[in-house]
Amino acid sequence: MRPIVALTIALAALAASPNTLAQAFPSKPVHIFVGVPPPAAPDIVARLFAKELEKELGQPFVVENRVGANSTLAAKAVVGAAPDGYTLFLGSPINISPVFLRNNAVDAGKELSPISRVYTSPFMVFVTAKQPFKSWGDIVSYAKANPGKANFGTVASLTTLLMSVLKTRSDINYTVVPYKANADLIKAMTVGDVDFTVLTPPPFLSSIQAGTVRPLFGTQRFALLPNVPAAADVGIANFDLVTNGGIWAPRDTPADVVQKLSASVAKAAKAPEIVEPSRKNFGLDIVSTTPAEEMRNFEKEMRFWQDAARAAKFEPE
């Protein structure tokens, strides 16, 4: 083989190698799809990360709001995109999974590739100040002594299902009272129409300060409410689920591109410009994971929700 021909073949092979692809990435704008409108928390977090990733990687990161169908429109836009790292989804893959959606669900474990988890917030059990409940044991005792009289307020099937886990473990009976919005639920808690609920902390922070609502415990500890114990601290094991969101790419995105994005997200997740406003304004802890860690997190959480759904005979919407 002539030297010039051999050199040409070698250069072509090098140009096509994954390492070269990762080194060249990104060479054009990257689009991040979110399924909620501004100024919802995932949208703001996406924009904060977009700004930092643009600094790190030298190309624009453009946030696109594809609102509708419980965020599946945004996720589907990414599922159907070219697997090259230029189209990403930011949100919760659990909420749009087949566990909760009968139609148009997205199975992230099969259709998407994780880049990194980027935010978490614990669930908390809250009680109205109109009731003297000081612990989960108080609620259990009241519910057993008064079957069906304890009112549990909910705005989402996810928290309804989460509470069903505690219901099964405690063998209690309560009445589920659905609400359309957090504001309606908070009002009901304030006047005592609802005895307890499960939700993430941010919507209740002002009510806690006003003394109309009390947090009993969280699935994990929460920086803004440092005196509230975690479930494990009060003897409730295997109840450490958090609401969370991550960044995901289309399935079959090159591993080196995934790793480059993940490393850049990890660096951005340490930026005070992201960490401080996310915690202060939305009660979110900014985190990062490797792609492998996030897939393990996702699989563990899916098993939890699938088991809970079977035990509760839960039907997706």
91 pLDDT more than 70: yes
Residue 134: band (very low, low, confident or very high) from pLDDT cuts 50, 70, 90: very high
Hey, CA dihedral for 185, 189, 191, 192, is it positive or negative? positive
Quote the CA–CA distance of 81 and 239 in Å, as a whole number. Answer: 36
pLDDT at 5: 52
**Are 150 and 174 within 8 A, CB to CB?**
yes
Mean pLDDT score across all residues of the chain:
92
Nearest Cα to 194, choosing from 151, 134, 230? 151
Crossing angle (nearest 10°) for helices 136-145 and 157-170: 80
Hey, where are the domains in the chain? 23-121+242-310, 124-234
The mean pLDDT value for 256-282 works out to 96
Distance, C-alpha 202 to centroid of its chain: 14
**DSSP letters along 65-125, please?**
E---GGGHHHHHHHHTS-SSSSEEEEE-TTTTSTTT-SSS---HHHHEEEEEEEEEEE-EE
Name which of 246, 278, 274 is nearest 78 in CA terms: 246
Residue 2 has pLDDT above 90, yes or no: no
pLDDT in tens, 194-206: 999 999 998 898 9
Number of neighbouring beta carbons within 10 Å of residue 201: 21
Backbone dihedral angles phi then psi of residue 21, each to the nearest 5 degrees? -60, -45
Measured in degrees and rounded to the nearest 5, phi and psi for residue 195 equal -85, -40
pLDDT at 280: 86
Q: Is residue 136 within 8 Å of residue 166, measured between CB atoms?
A: yes
* pLDDT, mean of residues 179-184: 94
Looking at the predicted structure, is the pLDDT value of residue 86 above 50?
yes
Q: How many helices (H) and strands (E) are present in the chain, helices listed first? A: 12, 11
Q: What is the reported pLDDT for 202?
A: 86
Asked if the model's pLDDT at residue 177 lies above 50, the reply is yes
Q: Which of 175, 178, 194, 177 is nearest to 186 (CA)?
A: 194
CATH topology of domain 124-234: D-Maltodextrin-Binding Protein; domain 2 (3.40.190)
Element (H, E) at 264: helix 255-268
What pTM was computed for the model? 0.88
Mean pLDDT for 134-141 is 94
DSSP secondary-structure letter at 219? S
CATH 3.40.190.150 fits 23-121+242-310, yes or no: yes
In this prediction, residue 114 has a pLDDT band, given cuts at 50, 70 and 90, of: very high
User: Which pLDDT band, with edges at 50, 70 and 90, does 317 fall under?
Assistant: confident
For 156-168, the DSSP string reads -HHHHHHHHHHHH
pLDDT, tens digit (0-9, with 9 covering 90-100), for 209-240: 999 999 999 999 998 899 999 999 999 999 99
Q: Which residue has the tokens 């792609």?
A: 291
Q: Do domains 23-121+242-310 and 124-234 have the same CATH topology?
A: yes
Confidence class for position 12, pLDDT limits 50, 70, 90: low
Full strand arrangement of the beta sheet holding 213-218: 175-178, 151-154, 196-199, 124-128, 213-218
d(CA 282, CA 202): 6
